[in-house]
Amino acid sequence: MAIVSTAGLGYPRIGENREWKKLLEEFWGGKREEQSFQKEMRELRIRRLLRQKKSGVAWVPSGDFTLYDSVLDHIAAFDLIPSRFRHLGTPDSLAVYFAMARGIEGAPACEMTKWFDTNYHYLVPELADQPNPKLVFNPWLDAFTEAKREAGLLTRPVLIGPYTLVRLAKGVPSSAFADVVRSFIPAYNSVLEQLVKAGAGWVQLDEPSLVTDVPQEHLALLKEVYGALKSSNPKLLIQLQTYFGAVEHPEAVFSLPVDAIGLDFVRGKDDNLNAIRKYGWPIGKKLGAGVVDGRSIWRVDPDQALGLLEELATQLPADQLIVQPSCSLLHSPVTVAVETSGDDIVRGSLSFADQKLEEVVALSEALEARLNGGVGELSPRLEENRAALAALRNHPARHRAAAQGSSEESVKGRAPFAERHALQLERFNLPLLPTTTIGSLPQTADIRKARLDWRRGKLSDDAYRQLLQERTELWIRRQEEIGIDVLVHGEFERTDMVEHFAHLLDGYHFTTNGWVQSYGSRCVKPPVIYGDVMDRGAMTLEDTLYAQSLTDRPVKGMLTGPITMLAWSFYRNDISRKEIADQIARALDAEVLRLEAAGIGMIQVDEPALREIAPLKRREWPEYLQWSVSSFRRSVAGVRDETQIHTHMCYCDYHEIIDAVEAMDADVISLETSRSHGSLIHALEHQPYANGIGLGVYDIHSPVVPETETMLAVIRDSLAVVPADRLWVNPDCGLKTRGEPETLAALKRMTEAAVLARAELVTA
């Protein structure tokens, strides 16, 4: 009888009710002592282990829980702590740990960027001046023993593999890459040896970098590294786990000296399957078949998944198969059990982390039944999936896009930037180095409570609108007093830059509790694109016109761009991303033209996600960048040349997509640079940006308010690569999550820095 195994690869850490977020913020705010904080976090870890145990999966992961970020855990445990934090305490102290994550006075936080093509952010290891890594404490051992003691589970510890950890780091020249990776072998061996002594039978080493562009010369290094780990720990079974796409160099990866390899059969389905057909599967090696999508919120299609598993069972013995999600369920909400909102058909089609583990188990049981002569009927659990997905396919909202016209219609171009720039200089008459913010201003507890009360019917429309207008007027006056040149209305009505607009468009579903972690304690509740997205009327016009009525200074209209609306939503999987983005762009363009017709002269269409969802393999970039840039341009199609179009991007490797950003042809782009300023300045030295640009002068994700001189230094650096008549001064991102006192202080210093920089230009 075939025995098909099952595994989880990782699980949401935030808790069913975001308990994790609340504990962190209470601790940071001084409302909870460290002992109480650690106790409550321990109880949360145990609860999540028991939820996974209940699902019935054979292998439950441990070590995937973290107090902030898993990469940061490796930085601390392997003594890779930057020197600016070492005076704060020992490597395992919370003072050091959270200072690296959030920064302190005189020590800026570690750089933060997106985890591959997801909306999760990780802390970037700094390896330029580090000694050889060494294990100074072992959080994976602690997690393993805790799970065994408290939950009765023999878990499979999860670490980020050494190859990926170094690929994600900064400060490693290509000439030293192999030696740096080798330097991690003793530290990893120390972790694995201690796990073996504690009774671990398996360990999972995540190597998602193997689905990116892997240089040919790295293949021998991978074989050497994993050979060293395996030879030093012969009793330990190692699963090398890949995800987010198909592996590069599959023949070489399949032959690595490990006991199992996990492959993504959702995003990398065709290429991974074709590689197994072509090269065969190594005898005696298990295959982790990732057939349940760890990044979507839809139920698994049982017919597609079982068909794939049955084919895999012809390529290797069934007892070598492990049915599992395609990646960690970190990217999924916890459970649909509390979902009560929205369209019944859509809600019935949802599957979150708990349900995905149930699907893994149900698929393994169905496969095993078929392989042992079963008649092929689906279990009630999978029949439910089949019926729910059929209803979703037939939903009327999925069959109305034809009314919008062809997505291949060309977008009318604008005049060259130089001509537009001259018209806009005359229209707005701004000083050199104009100051502005990215859009959102602090949302205090009273605003959040009022919005919740309004949604629950406890606050009338008129009372809510009056509160929003009062707060808008307060901040218009504050911006004027500080001396900001281009104002924003503050976005006090918006829960989230994507969710807000999703509520104003057709084609979206909203979950009750579908929260996922974005970075640190920041959780988002992505809307769900289930149908064709269409415009249904004015979205921002009233708020923007009210703010503009309060001041003679320009007020920007604020929209979220089509690529970001796509990327930061859970989207349908029956049509292409390009088609979805085009639908969104058409709806946004209708609003842009409304704002322009009403006299709003500056309109910002933010695209912070454009780089983050670029394919992980560079050969696939041209096609993606072509349609993503086209979608952005479609979202502002038809505006007059004197209307100034702004956009914003953050936490991306801007220098990698300079050509595409230029092709977007926004009049002004603002960029996050505070944590990666040097690399962007270097990029602009080699390939200047031709239009207006604002290089963020301070990091809004840190509670530290920089000195005026610090921001002035950023402006000076920026002036070395951007002409003064095209440089803007702004924070690096929106200010929604910051407190009012620190925001006012930071913006005042920012404008002071701009005034000083203008004076230096006059006297130069």
* 3-state SS string for 525-580: CCCEEEEEEEECCCCCHHHHHHHHHCCCCCECEEEECHHHHHHCCEECCCCCHHHH
Contact (Cβ atoms closer than 8 angstroms) between residue 534 and residue 603: no
Q: How far apart are CA 548 and CA 633, in angstroms?
A: 25
Contact (Cβ atoms closer than 8 angstroms) between residue 541 and residue 597: no
Q: What angle do CA 19, 21, 24 make, to 5 degrees?
A: 105
672 annotated as ligand-binding: yes
Around Cβ 132, how many Cβ atoms within 10 Å? 12
648 annotated as ligand-binding: yes
Contact (Cβ atoms closer than 8 angstroms) between residue 531 and residue 584: no
Q: How far apart are CA 758 and CA 554, in angstroms?
A: 20
Contact (Cβ atoms closer than 8 angstroms) between residue 374 and residue 365: no
25 annotated as ligand-binding: no
Task: List 647's β-bridge partners, or say none.
Answer: 669
Catalytic residues: 701
19 annotated as ligand-binding: yes
Question: Which residues belong to CATH 3.20.20.210 in the chain?
Answer: 5-68+138-329+337-393, 420-495+538-763
Q: How far apart are CA 691 and CA 685, in angstroms?
A: 15
33 annotated as ligand-binding: no
Contact (Cβ atoms closer than 8 angstroms) between residue 675 and residue 698: no
Quick: pLDDT tens for 480-539.
Answer: 999 999 999 999 999 888 999 999 999 999 999 999 999 999 999 999 999 999 999 999
Q: Tell me which of 3.40.50.360, 3.90.180.10, 3.20.20.210, 3.30.565.10 is the CATH number of domain 420-495+538-763.
A: 3.20.20.210
650 annotated as ligand-binding: yes
Q: How far apart are CA 743 and CA 447, in angstroms?
A: 16
568 annotated as ligand-binding: yes
- pLDDT value of position 418: 95
- pLDDT value of position 671: 83
Tokens of 474: 């307060």
Contact (Cβ atoms closer than 8 angstroms) between residue 147 and residue 199: no
612 annotated as ligand-binding: yes
Contact (Cβ atoms closer than 8 angstroms) between residue 327 and residue 7: no
- pLDDT value of position 678: 59
20 annotated as ligand-binding: yes
Amino acid (1-letter code) at residue 475: W
Placement of tokens 């298990």 in the chain = 286
440 annotated as ligand-binding: yes
Q: How far apart are CA 491 and CA 13, in angstroms?
A: 29
Ordered DSSP codes for 87-150: GGS-TT-HHHHHHHHH-BTTBPPPPEEESTTSS-EEEPPB-TT------S--HHHHHHHHHHHH
Hey, is 611 helix, strand or coil?
Answer: coil
Long-range contacts of the stretch 675-678 (C-beta < 8 A, 24+): 675/108, 675/109, 675/110, 675/111, 675/112, 675/651, 675/699, 675/732, 676/111, 676/113, 677/714, 677/717
669 annotated as ligand-binding: no
Q: Listing from the earlier edge strand, what are the strands of the sheet with 505-509?
A: 505-509, 528-535, 570-571
Q: How far apart are CA 572 and CA 531, in angstroms?
A: 7
Q: Tell me which of 3.20.20.210, 3.90.920.10, 3.40.50.300, 3.20.20.70 is the CATH number of domain 5-68+138-329+337-393.
A: 3.20.20.210
Tokens of 702: 């840190």
Tell me the pairing of strands 602-606 and 570-571. Answer: unpaired
235 annotated as ligand-binding: no
Ranges of the chain with pLDDT below 50 = 1
Task: List 264's β-bridge partners, or say none.
Answer: 290
* CA 355 and chain centroid, separation: 22
Quick: pLDDT tens for 260-287.
Answer: 999 999 999 999 999 999 999 999 999 9
Q: What angle do CA 215, 652, 172 make, to 5 degrees?
A: 45
110 annotated as ligand-binding: no
Contact (Cβ atoms closer than 8 angstroms) between residue 580 and residue 626: no
Task: List 113's β-bridge partners, or say none.
Answer: 122
Around Cβ 762, how many Cβ atoms within 10 Å? 7
Helix (H) or strand (E) holding 291: strand 286-292
Hey, is 12 helix, strand or coil?
Answer: coil
575 annotated as ligand-binding: no
Q: How far apart are the first and last CA of the chain?
A: 83
What is the C-alpha radius of gyration for the chain, rounded to an integer number of angstroms? Answer: 26
Q: How far apart are CA 711 and CA 747, in angstroms?
A: 10
Contact (Cβ atoms closer than 8 angstroms) between residue 163 and residue 207: yes
Q: How far apart are CA 610 and CA 660, in angstroms?
A: 10
Classify 665 in phi/psi space as left (phi over 0), alpha (psi -120 to 50) or beta.
Answer: left
115 annotated as ligand-binding: no
Helix (H) or strand (E) holding 203: strand 202-206
Q: How far apart are CA 641 and CA 530, in angstroms?
A: 36
Contact (Cβ atoms closer than 8 angstroms) between residue 291 and residue 309: yes
